[in-house]
């Protein structure tokens, strides 16, 4: 497990990098767990384990988490510090901490990633964050205890729930005017909200009514209500839009809801006080945060059974699961020396250093291939803890002196964590 401090990642000036003509790495599916006791646990979905923890020294009480549409940024609200932490997900380092309103809770990313909307539970507002400048460009008054938030598929409206005693309503913000256009009555103490994959429905969890309300986006009216377990809190929808998965925080279970009939099919029992739930992009797995257990339960959606439990941080609350592409990398090639021999050549000091573009951090344990500019193999080496790969090569006469004096190419093919890179280096006579 790696522990990285929440500090601003340094800007790196990049040199020209040529991407090798190899198949693009697949990337990874990662889960981000916001622990109310501090820190963001990163789950490697393939291995079912915490791969690292992002230490939040600048915000020790994260609440909810959302990951941008392309997986390259994560956003975590910090309810004590009144900030929004911005994470570069390919490198899992923190880029910024953006001041927002009082006790921020929910967060949602607009289609296209241009804006992030943060509900401020303590002052009844929504902060609009411009992701290009990472500044708040508008603050919208919406009413008491705004909590869950989601943006419509077309980006024209933002739906906000209100965790208030008694009858509640969903505020609908017009993103053109950044003002509340209407409110939609739902159940009591509404919390989480999720949009259907086709964008035609919103599903609202009513904590005080033990129900889920279905809202028609076109008419902005409630179409139906499903009963679930005691004190529901979080919700996730299957990618095909047929099922909802709702955490019942006081019943230690997840309700599986048929969204066509708006009926509960069954309950899946998990850990102590489940709060939030996220689903993998392929819909095969559910990940449930158990606030009281300090764990995440893993549910197989094909069988609706718990297949694993992962220990995370203290009091896990928010969770998001997303595909994350490899971190862009770069190579800096060195300067090799050529020595003439009777039956060939010796190349000494072929070297290249592999680093992350975003952070400048060295990338260790990766194979770098050295070739002539015409593609003749020279040698291969593995990067050390400083990101440097180095080797010598014995080269036959038939390669030719003129070819060698044109220089060499160092290349890294790339993998799921880091993208490929190549760089040309120089060769001079010894």
Same domain, 336 and 320: no
User: Taking Cα atoms as reference points, which of 4, 88, 56 lies closest to residue 318?
Assistant: 56
Q: Model confidence at 399, in pLDDT bands (50, 70, 90)? A: very high
- Provide the pLDDT for residue 24: 47
Q: Which DSSP symbol is given to 399?
A: G
- Provide the pLDDT for residue 363: 98
- Whole-angstrom Cα distance, residue 213 to residue 253? 19
Same domain, 313 and 394: no
**Domain span including residue 226:** 28-324
Same domain, 121 and 214: yes
Nearest-10 Cα torsion for 363, 368, 374, 378: 150
Same domain, 101 and 241: yes
User: Which of 306, 324, 342 is a domain's end point?
Assistant: 324
- Provide the pLDDT for residue 248: 98
Per the structure block, which two tokens stand in for 357?
């573009």
- Whole-angstrom Cα distance, residue 89 to residue 96? 13
Residue 138 lies in a domain: yes
Per the structure block, which two tokens stand in for 19?
């991407």
Looking at the predicted structure, is the pLDDT value of residue 213 above 80? Answer: yes
Residues 253-265 have pLDDT tens digits of: 999 999 999 999 9
Select the more confidently predicted residue: 37 or 388. 388
Structural domains of the chain, count: 2
Select the more confidently predicted residue: 68 or 136. 136
- Provide the pLDDT for residue 58: 63
Residue 2 lies in a domain: no
* Percent above pLDDT 70 for the chain: 93
Q: Model confidence at 101, in pLDDT bands (50, 70, 90)? A: very high
- Provide the pLDDT for residue 19: 38
- Provide the pLDDT for residue 38: 87
Residue 232 lies in a domain: yes
User: Which of 301, 324, 347 is a domain's end point?
Assistant: 324
- Provide the pLDDT for residue 342: 81
User: Taking Cα atoms as reference points, which of 276, 365, 304 lies closest to residue 31?
Assistant: 276
| Mean pLDDT to the nearest integer, 163-181 | 96
Rg (CA), the chain: 26
State the CATH number of the domain containing residue 175. 2.130.10.10
- Provide the pLDDT for residue 37: 87
Burial readout 127-155 (b: 16 or more C-beta within 10 A, e: otherwise):
bbbebeeeebebebebeebbbbbbbbeee
Q: Tell me the pairing of strands 125-130 and 135-141.
A: antiparallel
- Whole-angstrom Cα distance, residue 186 to residue 188? 7
- Whole-angstrom Cα distance, residue 100 to residue 95? 16
User: Which of 302, 324, 346 is a domain's end point?
Assistant: 324
Looking at the predicted structure, is the pLDDT value of residue 164 above 70? Answer: yes
| Mean pLDDT to the nearest integer, 291-296 | 97
Terminal Cα-to-Cα distance of the chain (whole angstroms)? 45
User: Taking Cα atoms as reference points, which of 130, 74, 129 lies closest to residue 324?
Assistant: 74
Looking at the predicted structure, is the pLDDT value of residue 25 above 60? Answer: no
- Provide the pLDDT for residue 161: 98
Looking at every residue in the chain, the average pLDDT score rounds to 91
Residue 86 lies in a domain: yes
The region that residue 121 occupies, defined by phi over 0 for left and psi between -120 and 50 for alpha, beta otherwise, is alpha
Same domain, 350 and 254: no
Same domain, 148 and 294: yes
Residues 301-350 have pLDDT tens digits of: 999 999 999 999 999 999 999 999 999 999 999 999 999 988 899 999 99
């Amino acid at each position: 497990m790696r522990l990285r401090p929440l500090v601003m990642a340094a800007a790196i000036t990049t040199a020209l990098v040529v991407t090798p003509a190899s198949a693009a790495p697949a990337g990874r599916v990662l889960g981000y767990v916001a622990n109310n006791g501090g820190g963001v646990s990163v789950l490697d979905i393939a291995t079912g384990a915490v791969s690292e923890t992002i230490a939040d020294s600048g915000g020790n009480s994260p609440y909810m988490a959302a990951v941008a549409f392309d997986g390259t940024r994560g956003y975590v609200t910090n309810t004590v510090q009144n900030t929004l932490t911005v994470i570069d997900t390919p490198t899992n380092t923190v880029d910024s901490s953006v001041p927002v309103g009082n006790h921020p809770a929910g967060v949602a990313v607009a289609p296209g990633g241009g804006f992030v909307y943060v509900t401020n539970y303590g002052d009844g507002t929504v902060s609009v964050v411009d992701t290009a400048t990472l500044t708040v460009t508008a603050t919208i008054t919406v009413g008491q205890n705004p909590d869950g938030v989601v943006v419509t598929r077309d980006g024209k409206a933002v739906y906000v729930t209100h965790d208030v005693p008694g009858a509640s309503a969903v505020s609908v913000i017009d993103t053109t005017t950044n003002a509340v256009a209407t409110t939609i009555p739902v159940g009591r103490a509404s919390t989480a909200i999720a949009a259907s994959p086709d964008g035609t429905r919103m599903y609202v969890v009513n904590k005080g009514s033990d129900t889920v309300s279905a809202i028609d986006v076109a008419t902005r009216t409630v179409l139906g209500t499903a009963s679930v377990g005691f004190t529901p809190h979080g919700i996730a929808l299957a990618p095909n839009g047929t099922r909802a998965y709702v955490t019942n925080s006081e019943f230690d279970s997840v309700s599986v809801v048929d969204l066509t009939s708006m009926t509960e099919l069954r309950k899946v029992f998990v850990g102590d006080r489940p709060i939030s739930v996220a689903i993998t992009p392929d819909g095969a797995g559910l990940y449930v945060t158990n606030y009281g257990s300090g764990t995440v339960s893993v549910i197989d959606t094909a069988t609706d059974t718990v297949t694993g439990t992962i220990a995370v941080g203290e009091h896990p609350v928010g969770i998001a699961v997303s595909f994350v592409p490899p971190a862009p990398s770069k190579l800096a090639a060195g300067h090799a020396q050529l020595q003439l021999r009777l039956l060939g050549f010796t190349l000494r000091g072929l070297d290249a250093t592999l680093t992350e573009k975003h952070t400048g951090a060295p990338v260790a344990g990766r194979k770098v291939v050295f070739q002539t500019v015409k593609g003749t193999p020279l040698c291969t080496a593995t990067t050390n803890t400083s990101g440097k790969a180095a080797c010598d090569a014995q080269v036959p006469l038939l390669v030719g002196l003129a070819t060698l004096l044109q220089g060499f190419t160092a290349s890294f093919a790339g993998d799921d964590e880091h993208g490929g890179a190549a760089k040309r280096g120089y060769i001079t006579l010894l």
